[in-house]
Amino acid sequence: MANGSVLSYVPEAVPAATEAHARTTLPIHHERHLKVICIGAGASGLLLAYKMQRNFENYELVCYEKNDDISGTWYENRYPGCACDIAAHIYTWSFEPNPSWSSVYAGSEEIHNYFHRFSKNHGLSKFYKLRHLVTQAIWDATTGGWDVEITNLVDGSKITDHCDILINGAGVLNTWKWPEVPGLHNFKGNLMHTANYDKSVDLKGKNVGLIGNGSSAIQVLPNILPDAKRVTTFFRGPTWVSPVKNVVMDQYFYTDEERHLWERDADAHLRYRKKLENSLNKVFPMFLLKSERQQDLRAGMTEIMKSIIKDEELEKKLIPSWAVGCRRMTPGVGYLEALVSDKVDISYGTIQQVTEGGCIGGDGKEYPLDVLICATGFDTSYLPRFTVIGADGVSLREAWAKEPRSYMGVGTNGFPNYMMITGPNSPIGNGAVLVGMEAQADYICKMMDRWQTENIHSFSPKAEAVDEFLSYKDAFMKDTVWQQECRSWYKSNSITGKVTALWPGSSLHYLEAMMEPRYEDWDIKYSGNRFSFLGNGFSQTEVDPTADRGYYLRNEDDGQYLSRGKRRKVFSKAGTWTLDGPVETVSVKGDSNGAGSPISTESSGSPPAEVEEPNFQSSTGPSGYLANLTSHISTAFGVGNSVSSKRRLPTGSGFNASSARDAKSRKRGEAARSGNSQWEGVKEAGAGGKKDKDELIDNALVEYLRKGTRV
Ligand SMILES: Cc1cc2nc3c(=O)[nH]c(=O)nc-3n(C[C@H](O)[C@H](O)[C@H](O)COP(=O)(O)OP(=O)(O)OC[C@H]3O[C@@H](n4cnc5c(N)ncnc54)[C@H](O)[C@@H]3O)c2cc1C
Ligand SMILES: NC(=O)c1ccc[n+]([C@@H]2O[C@H](COP(=O)([O-])OP(=O)(O)OC[C@H]3O[C@@H](n4cnc5c(N)ncnc54)[C@H](OP(=O)(O)O)[C@@H]3O)[C@@H](O)[C@H]2O)c1
Q: Is the C-beta atom of 278 inside 6 A of ligand 2?
A: no
Is the per-residue pLDDT at 271 higher than 60?
Answer: yes
Close Cβ partners of 647 (under 8 Å, ≥ 6 residues apart)? 612, 613
Tell me, what's the pLDDT at 706? 53
From the list 132, 113, 123, the residue with the least C-alpha distance to 41 is 132
pLDDT in tens, 662-675: 344 444 334 333 33
Which SS3 state, helix, strand or coil, does residue 431 take? coil
- Residues of the chain with pLDDT > 90, as a percent, come to 73
DSSP 211: E
Task: Show Cβ contacts of residue 209 under 8 Å, excluding neighbours closer than 6 positions.
Answer: 231, 232, 233, 234, 358, 359, 367, 369, 371, 372, 373
| Element containing residue 302 per DSSP (H, E) | helix 292-309
Count the neighbouring beta carbons within 10 Å of the beta carbon of residue 591: 19
Cα 242 to middle of ligand 2, angstroms: 15
Q: Are strands 387-389 and 132-140 parallel, antiparallel or unpaired?
A: parallel
Whole-angstrom CA distances from 339 to 289, 587, 699 are 29, 52, 39
* Residue whose CA is at the smallest distance from ligand 2 atom 36: 212
**Cα dihedral: 121, 127, 132, 135 (round 10):** -130
pLDDT digits (tens, 9 = 90+) for 134-175: 999 999 999 999 999 999 999 999 999 999 999 999 999 999
**Ligand 2 neighbour 207 (Cβ under 6 A):** no
Cα–Cα distance list, 394 to 142, 235, 419 (Å):
16, 40, 16
- Taking only the tens place, the pLDDT of each residue in 508-566 is 999 999 999 999 999 999 999 999 999 999 999 999 999 999 999 999 999 999 999 99
Distance 174 CA to ligand 1 centre (A): 6
Residue 405 to residues 101, 325, 346, 441, 477, Cα–Cα distance (Å) = 38, 24, 40, 19, 15
Ligand 2 centroid to Cα of residue 214, in Å, is 4
pLDDT digits (tens, 9 = 90+) for 34-83: 999 999 999 999 999 999 999 999 999 999 999 999 999 999 999 999 99
Give the integer Cα–Cα distance in Å for 573 and 582.
Answer: 11
Distance 421 CA to ligand 1 centre (A): 11
What is the rounded end-to-end Cα distance, in angstroms, of the chain?
60
What gap in Å lies between CA 460 and CA 391, rounded to an integer?
10
Least confident of 173-177, 402-406, 700-704: 700-704
Helices (H), 638-689: 641-644, 657-673, 679-688
Rounded distance between C-alpha atoms, residue 529 and residue 535, angstroms: 11
Cα 426 to ligand 1 centroid, rounded to whole Å: 14
C-beta separation of 535 from 23 below 8 A: yes
Least reliable range by pLDDT among 1-15, 186-200, 362-376, 435-449: 1-15
Confidence of residue 416 (pLDDT cuts 50, 70, 90): very high
Atom of ligand 1 nearest to the CA of 433: 11
**For residue range 178-224, what is the model confidence (pLDDT) as tens digits?**
999 999 999 999 999 999 999 999 999 999 999 999 999 999 999 99
**SS3 assignment for 230-284:** EEEEEECCCCCCECCCCCCCCCCECCHHHHHHHHHCHHHHHHHHHHHHHHHCCCH
Ligand with smallest separation from the Cα of 166: 1
State the closest ligand 2 atom to the C-alpha of 105, by its place in the atom list counted from 1.
1
Evaluate if residue 586 carries a pLDDT over 60: no
Tell me how far the alpha carbon of residue 377 lies from the centroid of ligand 2, in angstroms.
Answer: 4
Q: Is the pLDDT of residue 421 over 70?
A: yes
Q: What is the mean pLDDT of the chain?
A: 83
Mean pLDDT of 283-304: 91
To test the pocket of ligand 2, the residue of 185, 193, 328, 482 to mutate (highest count of ligand atoms within 8 Å of its CB) is 328
Averaged pLDDT for residues 16-30: 81
**Do the strands 648-651 and 609-612 form a parallel or antiparallel pair, or are they unpaired?**
antiparallel
Amino acid symbol at 613: E
Going by pLDDT thresholds of 50, 70 and 90, the confidence category of residue 659 is: very low
Residue 700 host element (H or E): helix 693-706
Predicted local distance difference test score (pLDDT) of residue 705: 56
- What is the pTM (predicted TM-score) of this model? 0.86
Q: How many residues does the chain have?
A: 711
pLDDT at 314 over 70: yes
pLDDT at 655 over 50: no
Q: What is the mean pLDDT of residues 287-294?
A: 91
The pLDDT, as a whole number, for residue 584 is: 67
Q: Which of 147-156, 424-433, 608-617 has the lowest mean pLDDT?
A: 608-617
Domains defined along the chain, listed by start: 31-68+130-175+381-534 (3.50.50.60), 190-248+283-374 (3.50.50.60)
pLDDT tens for each residue of 222-231: 999 999 999 9
Query: CA-to-CA distance for 149 and 137, rounded, in angstroms?
Result: 6
Which of 173, 374, 421 to mutate to test ligand 1, by most ligand atoms within 8 A of the CB atom? 173
Asked whether 165 lines ligand 2 (CB < 6 A), one says: no
Using most ligand atoms within 8 A of CB, pick from 174, 197, 489, 507 the residue to mutate for ligand 1. Answer: 174
